[in-house]
Structure formats: C-alpha cells, structure tokens
Structure 1
Amino acid sequence: MQTVKHTIAENLGVAPTLSGDPHQLVDPQHQFSLDQVGDLSGKVALVTGGSEGIGFGCTHTLLKSNIDKVFVVSLSEEIISQAKNAFAEDDELPKDAAARIVWKQCDLTDWKRVQQVAREINQETDRLDILIANAAKGIMTHSLDRNGIDSHMSINHLGHVVLIDALLPLLNKTVKDQQTKVRVVSFSSNLAAQTPNDVDFATEEDFKSDLGAQALYARSKLADLLFSRYLNRKYSQAGHSDIVFNACHPGVVDTRQTNVWIHEPFPILGYAWNLLNPIKKSIFQGCVSAMYCATQPTKGGNFICPPAVPEDGPEKSRDEEMQDRLVRFSKQIIELAGVTLTTIPV
C-alpha cells in the first residue's frame, strides 16, 4: 500500500484524500512544500528552460523566495518575455521580480554557444548558489543534432555537461567565498528505468542510435542520473562535499510536452495523455522535488521523487563503471565537436 501511495504522490496532481494533495501521502520525513524553500536573499541561481513549464515553476519559486538574480537559459525570446510579464504582474513576487531575471538565449545542442553563455555568466556574477538543469527534449521521435548526436542526448545530457563543466569554477568560488553549500540539480525521470537493457554507454552508438520515442527520452534521463551520481562521487572523493549534486523526478506534469508535443510521436495515442490532464501535476507541484534538491540537502548522489522521497533509481544508475564510461564518451564526443572540457574530473 505504501508503494501505491508513493506512486500517486510522485506522479499525480490529485489524491483520494480530504486535502487532495498527493504529497501528503508520503511519510512525514519525506514531505516538503514550496513554502519550506526559505529565504534566498543574496543568492544567485541558474535555471535552464526556466521560462515555461516546470522551469517556470522553479524560477517563480526562486523569485518568491527573494533570490537576488536568476539566469534563465532558453531558446525563445517570446516565451521569456511572456514569463517576465507574468512575473511582473504577480502580486506574490517582489515588485522588481522581472528585473531579477537575466536571460541568455541558447540552444543546448550548440555547445560552443553554451560555453560562451557560461563565460558571460562568470563575468556577470561573482557567485552561483543553485544550478537547475531542467531544459529537455521530451518524448519525441529521433533526430540528429548538428554534431550527428541524438538530439535527446545532445539537449538533455551533453549540453548540460558543457554548461556544468564551465560553471563548476564559479560554484567552487561560491563555496569558498560565501562559506556555504551550493547545489546542482539534474532533472531525470522514473522513465529512466525503461532504458533498453543493451544500452550501457560503452560506445558512441549509445549517443546516436534510434530506440523509439519513449526509449530515447528514457536513455537521456538515465544519462542525467548517471552524470549526477558521477559528479557527486568524484567531488566527494576529492573532499569537495560542499557542492551537492542530486537528480530529481518531477512526476507527470501539465506542460506543452504532455499536451502538445506528445502528439508528434503518438498522433492518436497522445490523446491518452490529454485525458490525464485533470490528474496531472501543476507546474508548481512538478517543481517541488527540484526545489527541495535546490535548497535543502546537505548530501548528494540521490534520486529525489516528489515531494522529497529518496529512491534508488534504476540499477544501472548506481553502476559506477557505467557512470565512468558515460562521462568518458561524453567528453570525447564534445571535444570532437571542438569544445574542450576543463573542469569535470575523468
């Protein structure tokens, strides 16, 4: 019964309880709400894809918690403008909320641009307390990016590898100068468990091949979880435990992905996702696990499911040899594209 309760809490936006809040179904020690984020005055964050969907929920929560500045890395000027207007008109937020947003236009498949954005951020702030790697390509059909890599792997994993590598010095500086912990949050998914068994990141083919829409997404989300656990392990072994790396699962959230883009791979079956709209999580419910990871844990290496439930994740995600292979081939692919990684330990 506890497993059923946790499944509802992790994935759905309503529950058969008096409160209707699925997060109340988990044990008290694993409950968490956005009201518990705390005051973030003086701090700086970065959210990829922070202008819509779950990323909008993260950015809104950071602003509501009085963060000084949020770098939003995304593609669409129209969508960031809409988000800023919404922030400016929201009475729950500081009056200057929209002015606290610094937008960086970036395509995460353009790894040279990703590095350039990171350089700009390094020049524009002397601290970075929170990095939320949220932007992603969802369940869609196979396509190759400009470097001949599966676009799911390029956007969801490799683009964030480049970004995190370029910002780790700033994260380290923040730890040293501010005498504080900083937190890096990677969005994974419980769908990572559906990665085909023969995917082991032992060759570059696992960064390119077509597995079908859902399995492509699953593979990239397994990579995100493997990478987060790799970084936590390497930094902990080096005695740098003040950078806290965790991954999270958001649940089934009411976003453009689950309402519109799902029809690209599944023109008919996609309507089944639309039928779930009344019980999907809102974007604010969907960002709870990420905001927990972004503000609360003192230890890393975890896979956090809503609201704040640590789970093992797929067995593969705990395979240290697979973590090592993933990072080794990720580095090789990125550097073949003319982008040099300088910080991530290998």
Structure 2
Amino acid sequence: MSQMVPPKSKFKVDQIPDLGGRVAIVTGGNVGIGYETIKALLQHNAKVYMASRSREKAEAAIASLKEATGKEAIFLELDLSSLASVRKAAKVFLAQEHELHILFNNAGVMWPPIDWLTTEGYDLQFGTNVLGHFYFTELLMPALLAGVESSPDHHTRVVTTSSSGAYLETLHFDTFKDGPARRKKTKEALYYQSKFGNVVVAHQLAKRYASKGIISISVNPGNIQTELQRYVPALARRFMNAVLLYPTPYGALTQLFAGTMPEALNYNGEFLIPWARLGKCRPEAYDPDVGERLWNWLDEQVKAFEASHPDSTTA
C-alpha cells in the first residue's frame, strides 16, 4: 500500500546537483516520465540525448523542452523493438560521445495486442522492455566505463524503469519468443514479466560492473498518468486517471533521485519505490541462479543476432 499511496516525497527536483559536463541518455524521452526526466536534467545543465522512435514526435518534444528550460536535448533515433536499430543508435552515439554518465532505460510498452512482436520475433513487451535495453546498455558500456573517471563521484549510473507490476509475475522463458506458451499468457501477465525482468537485469548489472564504477538501480516510478496506458480500454483508463494515477512529474522523481543524487550511490543493485525510497522486489529478483540464467539467455540472443546480422550502419 505504501507504493500505491506513498508518503509525501522528501526529494524534490530542485535538490539535484549541478550536472554540467555530464552526458545522459533517456530512452523514450519524448513523452511522459521520460520527458519530465529530461526536463529536470536540462534544468541542471546536463547534455541530454532523447532516444526515441519517432523523429517528428521527438523534435516536437525537444522544442517544447527548449521553451520550458532554455536548453536543447539531442535526438537519437532508437527503436528498442529492433536489435538492428538498437545497434545503430549505440553506434551513432559512440561516434559523437566518448563518455556517458547517466543512462535512463526508461522506455517501455504496456499491454499491446498479443499478436505484436519485435522485428526478431520476440514478445513485444519483453523484447522492447528487457532485451532491447539489455543490448543497448551493453553496447554503451565503453562510454559508461569511460565516464567513471570524469564523473565527480567516480561512478556512472544505469537507471532502469520497472513497475509495481514486477511483483505480479516471475520469468517464463518459453514465453519470451512467440509460441504456444506465450499465446496462453495474457498481455497483462507478459507486461508484468517484462517489468520483473527489468529488476533482475538491473541487479545483475550491479553485481557484474560494481567494481568498475557502474551503479545500477531499478525503480518503480509509481502509478502515473502517461502514454504508457495507450492500450488500456478507454473506460478503464478514465477510472485509472481519476482514482489511481498521479500526475506525470511525480513519475520522474524516483529515477531522477537514482540517477543524480549522491545518496543513491548506496543503492547499487537495489529497487527503489515511490517516492525515492528503498524498497524490495519479489525474492526471485535477487536469486543468483535466476539472474544468471536470464543474463545468459539475453547474451545468447544478442550473440545470435550479431552472428546472423553482420555489423552495418543501416537499421
């Protein structure tokens, strides 16, 4: 209940330290929580890349942010449902920047039609929310590691947006790609699975890279009014907005705390809950066998993709 109706936040955006000289990427940053995250980062002088699918929507959001902050975000084309697009986006970024200090794996898709798959045939929600972000993070690791020395606190950060839905499902490996087992699942269950997967990967990332200065934190941003509910039936969406959901800026608080505040260095591998508080996900999220199995599976998918799709600059 403390996550559904959290206590008043002790953290406010104006507490964020100056981020001058730091480079950040926010996936899905043209709407909702991502937009509010970029707004706060720009207000505190970070150089921010908005990694989004639609150039038209991103450019409109960038113009709106410039009007609000006087600062300009940079568009980075990224479709997380295509591993080729993920690879191209990372290559474009690395050609422009040597260092990355904060990566917000914020983008997500929730409850799309069950028939929708990624380009490579994965469940759209798992492929976008988990596999796409896993691959993007690994490709950007050289820049994250390079950013450690130039960061004032000698750490760089990866913040992954999960959900309270992470408590509602565990991992069903036979549903990650399309097939009979996946078709027996509801689109809601597949979403909750993907959000649980986000927590598992973030915890594993912390274990694997902590000694190199990487801080990895997953967050439940809260029940927020965003475009994420675009596939929710209209009547249910109206009810959610009226009764259950908080205004969009609230959703950025917990991930901004994780990505910018000195105190968050103490939370490597942890799961933060609204608003900017330490929480715990379901126990399997911290099971080393579960984490190892998922990490290895994701790594195998990436290696298989790269073996069958020689590197090129075209998505």
Check whether TM > 0.5: yes
For the residue of structure 2 that corresponds to 1:136, the secondary structure is: coil
Taking the TM superposition and a 5 Å limit, the aligned residue runs for 1:36-115 are 36-67=15-46, 69-90=47-68, 93=69, 95=70, 97-98=71-72, 101-115=73-87
Find the aligned partners of 1:243 and 1:303 in 2 and give their Cα distance: 16
AA aligned to 1:23 is K
Greater Cα offset, 325-334 or 286-295: 325-334
**Aligned partners of 2:111 and 2:188 also within 8 Å:** yes
Which among 163, 166, 171 is matched to residue 192 of structure 1?
166
Unaligned runs of 5+ in 1: 10-21, 25-30, 341-346
Find the aligned partners of 2:307 and 2:276 in 1 and give their Cα distance: 36
C-alpha displacement at 1:125, in angstroms? 1.4
1:85-107 Cα offsets, whole Å, 9 max, x none, are: 212222xx2x3x12xx2111121
Find the aligned partners of 2:200 and 2:283 in 1 and give their Cα distance: 10
Matched, 1:250 2:217: no
C-alpha displacement at 1:156, in angstroms? 0.4
AA aligned to 1:315 is P
AA aligned to 1:132 is F
1:109-132 Cα offsets, whole Å, 9 max, x none, are: 211221121122112112211000
AA aligned to 1:262 is V
Q: Aligned in 2, Cα 1:53/1:227: closer, same or farther, shift over 3 Å?
A: same
Unaligned runs of 5+ in 2: 309-315
* 2:135 alignment partner in structure 1: 162
Q: Aligned in 2, Cα 1:70/1:339: closer, same or farther, shift over 3 Å?
A: farther
Find the aligned partners of 1:123 and 1:166 in 2 and give their Cα distance: 12
RMSD value over aligned CA atoms? 1.9
C-alpha displacement at 1:178, in angstroms? 4.4
Find the aligned partners of 2:37 and 2:110 in 1 and give their Cα distance: 18
**Aligned partners of 1:46 and 1:130 also within 8 Å:** yes
Matched, 1:272 2:239: yes
* 2:8 alignment partner in structure 1: 23
TM-score, scaled to structure 2? 0.89
TM-score, scaled to structure 1? 0.81
Find the aligned partners of 2:146 and 2:231 in 1 and give their Cα distance: 39
C-alpha displacement at 1:322, in angstroms? 0.6
C-alpha displacement at 1:141, in angstroms? 3.0
Find the aligned partners of 2:186 and 2:45 in 1 and give their Cα distance: 42
Q: Aligned in 2, Cα 1:200/1:34: closer, same or farther, shift over 3 Å?
A: same
For the residue of structure 2 that corresponds to 1:290, the secondary structure is: helix
Taking the TM superposition and a 5 Å limit, the aligned residue runs for 1:1-346 are 4-9=1-6, 22-24=7-9, 31-67=10-46, 69-90=47-68, 93=69, 95=70, 97-98=71-72, 101-142=73-114, 143-178=116-151, 180-195=154-169, 199-201=171-173, 204-208=174-178, 209-210=182-183, 211-236=185-210, 239-240=211-212, 242-258=213-229, 260-263=230-233, 268-276=235-243, 280-296=245-261, 297-299=264-266, 300-338=268-306
**Aligned partners of 1:141 and 1:212 also within 8 Å:** no
For the residue of structure 1 that corresponds to 2:158, the secondary structure is: strand
For the residue of structure 2 that corresponds to 1:23, the secondary structure is: coil
AA aligned to 2:43 is K
**Aligned partners of 2:129 and 2:194 also within 8 Å:** yes
1:243-270 Cα offsets, whole Å, 9 max, x none, are: 1000001111111223x3212xxx6544
Find the aligned partners of 1:170 and 1:311 in 2 and give their Cα distance: 29
AA aligned to 2:95 is Q
**Aligned partners of 2:22 and 2:151 also within 8 Å:** no
1:180-232 Cα offsets, whole Å, 9 max, x none, are: 21110001111111115xx354xx54444242121111010111100000011
Find the aligned partners of 1:77 and 1:88 in 2 and give their Cα distance: 16
1:269-312 Cα offsets, whole Å, 9 max, x none, are: 44432433xx5222211100000110121131110011111111
For the residue of structure 1 that corresponds to 2:49, the secondary structure is: strand
AA aligned to 1:102 is I
